Amino acid sequence: MTLEECLGQMSEKYRADPVAAVRSQGFIKLLHAYLAVEMRARLSKQAVKRGVKVIEEATIFGAHKSKDVDVAVVDPANGPLLLIGLRSQMSSVGNNALTYYQDIIGECITLQERFPLTVCGYVYLHPLAPVKEGKESEKIDHGRWARMYEAISGRDGQAYKSIRGVYDHFAYMVVDFNTDPLQLHDELVKAAVPDLDLSVSTFIDRMVSTFKKRNFFLDIFE
């Protein structure tokens, strides 16, 4: 499945029943599936042979409680190698996004406390304009959120194992739900954070590249 095909399926799901698609998370699960398929395609033959799996909605033990991680690459003997969380927020961004921001930082901390070597990433989706009936006039400052996600992305350097609350990689999707298929507006994100790649189209490549850099002795990904 390509990203374009994924957005097309998300568009069909949303247009068939917008309320159900949002409430049930039906359309965002298509994005889960896309990322999982992309990650499986990158596994080496050796990794598959040793039983490394890409698991959707995996229950991972964090430092203080278990966490359902949307996409996880897991080695049968050594545990999580890469972890990816996803969230979509379709309305009331001004009221709730700060709470969710705090939540995803907390998720990052608890997973990194237990698995400091694991590559952690997150994908966040906002609509170009609110799609919930009655909320159409709400304004979303995408540039502000892009800068906030930039602030919790880019765990790197020699001391990366001691850094908590910062993801290795982040993707911020601004999606126009009034087009068919859905259209990404990466230019809005790039204008706000020109020095950091937050595109979903490069997200898997960035995650895999970081894993290879840190684990050059392991033949897990092609």
- What confidence tens digit (pLDDT) does each residue in 21-61 have? 777 777 889 999 999 999 999 999 999 999 999 999 999 99
Average pLDDT on 2-30 reads 82
Average pLDDT on 113-123 reads 97
Domain residue limits, the chain = 3-214
What tens digit of pLDDT does each residue of 51-103 get? 999 999 999 998 888 899 999 999 999 999 999 999 988 777 777 778 899 99
Confidence at residue 134, expressed as pLDDT on a 0 to 100 scale: 62
Q: CA 26, CA 39: separation in Å to the nearest integer?
A: 20
Tokens of 41: 């395609």
Instruction: List CB contacts of 22: < 8 A, sequence separation 6 or more.
Output: 14, 88, 90, 131, 132
Q: How far is CA 30 from CA 43, 48, 83, in A?
A: 20, 24, 17
Tell me which residue has tokens 């992309």: 38
Q: How many CA atoms lie within 13 A of 181 on its CB side?
A: 12
Residue 135 has pLDDT above 70, yes or no: no
What is the secondary structure of 135-162 as a DSSP string?
-TT----HHHHHHHHHHTB---STTGGG
- Secondary structure class of 46 (helix, strand, coil): helix
Question: What sections of 45-120 are H helices per DSSP?
Answer: 45-49, 93-114
